[in-house]
Homo-oligomer: A and B are copies of this chain.
């Protein structure tokens, strides 16, 4: 029904996260109607990706292939004694967008999730423990997601830090009402967290 080249593109685009066949069709059709150079720009950008991006050997954030370490780590203005531990590289961007954090990051490269076959051995936890010692960290902020996997990963890391005899403050992100949400629509757990974590005005 559709030309083969278009079908193949639709099938490749359907592999993107959250993209169903209809959305893939729309994307493919858009690329077909856009100019050949415009489509070629996207294909070249995909081609260059793997060769030009690598993981920082210290923080495991994404860096340019020619960089030796993440600029967010090497920047002398950033406090190496404060380490925000995140699940993946996009979380770094989310936290950087707030402009409220001036420490450094440590990307775990995943979250403990037995269902998905991800155990703690697959995460960069030993490297985190090394960093805490080497950089004489004073605080580890466990900036993990607010689901069960995030909670158990946080607990595991906390135990590792304690059993390693490391003296460092461990904190996690506050739980509470997100901006713009009506109290009546907040779920029970969120509301209990918001109540327990209430602050004096």
User: What is the bound-complex CA distance between A34 and B49, given in angstroms?
Assistant: 11
Q: How large is the interface on A (under 10, 10 to 19, 20 to 34, 35 or more residues)?
A: 35 or more
CB-CB under 8 A from A9, the residues of chain B are 42, 45-46, 48-49
Determine whether the beta carbon of B46 is less than 8 Å from that of A31: yes
Q: Check A46/B39 contact, CB under 8 A, given A32-B62, A52-B4, A53-B3.
A: yes
Say yes or no: A3 contacts B47, CB within 8 Å. Answer: no
Q: Mask for A19-52, Cβ within 8 A of B = 1, else 0?
A: 1000101111111101010111111111111111
Q: Is the CB of B53 within 8 A of A49?
A: no
A89 proximal to B (CB < 8 A): yes
Segment touching B, from A10-18, A112-120, A143-151, A160-168: A10-18
- Copy total for this chain: 2
Q: Whole-angstrom distance from the CB of A18 to the nearest CB of chain B? A: 7
Given A62-B3, A63-B3, answer yes or no on A89-B49 (Cβ-Cβ < 8 Å): no
A157 contacts the other chain (Cβ, under 8 Å)? no
Report whether over half of chain A's contact residues are helix, strand or loop; otherwise say mixed. helix
Note all chain B residues with C-beta closer than 8 A to A29. 88-90
Task: Report the separation of the CA atoms of residues A40 and B51 in the bound assembly, to the nearest whole angstrom.
Answer: 12
Interface assignment of A96: CB less than 8 Å from any CB of chain B: yes
Partner of A64, one of B4, B17, B44: B4
The residues of B that contact A15 with a CB separation of less than 8 Å are: 34, 38, 42
In the complex, A64 Cα to B31 Cα: how many Å? 16
Query: Could you show 24 A-B contacts with beta carbons less than 8 Å apart?
Result: A1-B92, A4-B64, A5-B49, A5-B51, A5-B52, A5-B53, A9-B42, A9-B45, A9-B48, A12-B41, A12-B45, A13-B42, A15-B38, A16-B31, A18-B26, A25-B90, A28-B49, A29-B90, A31-B49, A32-B49, A39-B47, A40-B46, A42-B43, A43-B46
